[in-house]
Amino acid sequence: MIQLKETTWQAVVRLNLNNFRCYTSLNLEIDPRPVVLTGANGAGKTNILEALSFLVPGRGLRRARLEDVTRQEAGNMASWIITARLELSKSNSSEISKIIEIGTGRKVGSERRLVQIDGQKIRSQSMLSEVISAIWLTPTMDRLFSDGTAGRRRFLDRLVLGINPAHAKCASDYEYSLQERSRLLKTGRYDPMWISVLEKRMSYNGVMIAIARKRTVKYLNQVCANENGPFPSVRLNVVGSVENSLDSLDITAAEVKLCDALSTTRRTDAENGGATIGTHRSDMLVYYGSKNQPAEQCSTGEQKAILIAIVLGQAKIQAVIRGMSPILLLDEITAHLDKCRRIALFNQLCELGIQSWLTGTDDSLFAELGERGQFFHVNDAVVKRQ
């Protein structure tokens, strides 16, 4: 049963960048309304969205290495910094309930991303998921349903994280155990007891990941079962050895099954690298609901509409279950959308009351937002309010 909570609406109202991508320095003041960034390709629009994506755990919407986002002209010996002011307000109230200052960046010579919340250094970036949530769609995700499984897993895990902040730590711990086990198996010289400990950790976190994924898919299926204006009904499923085992086993039995399988496949995994079984090999299956058609068989426009339907459904779920609205980062969002779907998207973003950041090359494609949005033109890393 879904537990209702009072919704907290979050919005970035100040964004500062230093030596990030093409920006030497950027100071942007905004309000909670939808933010529209327009300009030519390569002007720096997506870089702003990428900076915002670094306010949550992970490697950002481009999955870039930390050194790769440093402004090239600054050289490898420069640091990059992102700071943001996050404004929180309760539902049905225009009064600000809380302000949170977030900072993140890379210090020269460091391979880890540094994070501060309200001026306090945070040991793990996973704690960011406790204070801010973001979901993004990018042009590369237009091929999400036809490309490999990794992209779909990352997309699903981002949706899971919006509902369950603890998912970030489970995913991080699972990935560490997987990599450490793979490294030791590759050497051929390892302590079997330590390998067993790593496999037990992988099993525990793997089952927790699978449970969270299945729960999120269940919620999404409830919200996305019916057509949402011009956006189609959607049906999702998550499949994988661990997720499938939970259909017939309890948590403890599923952990034991995974742990036994990892122990059995050590020799094969030592030869091939990685692990042949685990939640890192699961997949998300998506269907156009009313047509009962796999998403990868749908037209380009239908696939884009399916993605938007999922994201809008996720925003509703987060507001209801977790009591926190996500920030949406929608890069080149109007591509492959007809006028009817564009208008419907803008209307729903405004009705939901969530802050969204949208980019595009043509101002006219966002005209229907009117005064409900705030518009900026980006040209050669210079951002001007329109």
- Domains, in order of start, for the chain: 1-133+324-386 (3.40.50.300), 146-323 (1.20.1050.90)
Q: Residue 294 belongs to what H/E stretch?
A: strand 293-294
3-state secondary structure of 286: strand
Q: Is 75 exposed, middle or buried (0-12, 13-18, 19+ CB in 10 A)?
A: exposed
- Which one, of 335, 334, 317, lies nearest residue 326 by Cα? 317
Strand residue runs (E) in 138-233: none
| Average model confidence (pLDDT) across the chain | 93
Note whether 11 and 328 are within 8 A (CB). Answer: no
Residue 178 in tokens: 């997987």
Q: What is the DSSP letter of 143?
A: G
3-state secondary structure of 148: coil
**pLDDT higher than 60, residue 154:** yes
Phi then psi for 59, rounded to 5 degrees?
A: -105, 15
**pLDDT higher than 70, residue 155:** yes
- pLDDT (0 to 100) of residue 9: 85
Q: ∠ at Cα 91 (89, 93), nearest 5°?
A: 65
Q: CB atoms < 10 A from the CB of 174, how many?
A: 22
Q: How far apart are CA 284 and CA 160, in angstroms?
A: 12
Higher-scoring residue by pLDDT: 126, 202: 202
Mean pLDDT of all residues in 40-68: 95
Place 126 in a pLDDT band, splitting at 50, 70 and 90.
confident
Entry pTM: 0.92
Q: How far apart are CA 245 and CA 247, in angstroms?
A: 5
Place 102 in a pLDDT band, splitting at 50, 70 and 90.
very high
**pLDDT higher than 90, residue 91:** no
Q: Residue 259 belongs to what H/E stretch?
A: helix 251-264
> Could you tell me the CA-to-CA distances from 213 to 134, 153, 246 in Å, in that order?
17, 10, 11
Q: Is 368 exposed, middle or buried (0-12, 13-18, 19+ CB in 10 A)?
A: middle
- pLDDT (0 to 100) of residue 2: 45
Mean pLDDT of all residues in 221-230: 95
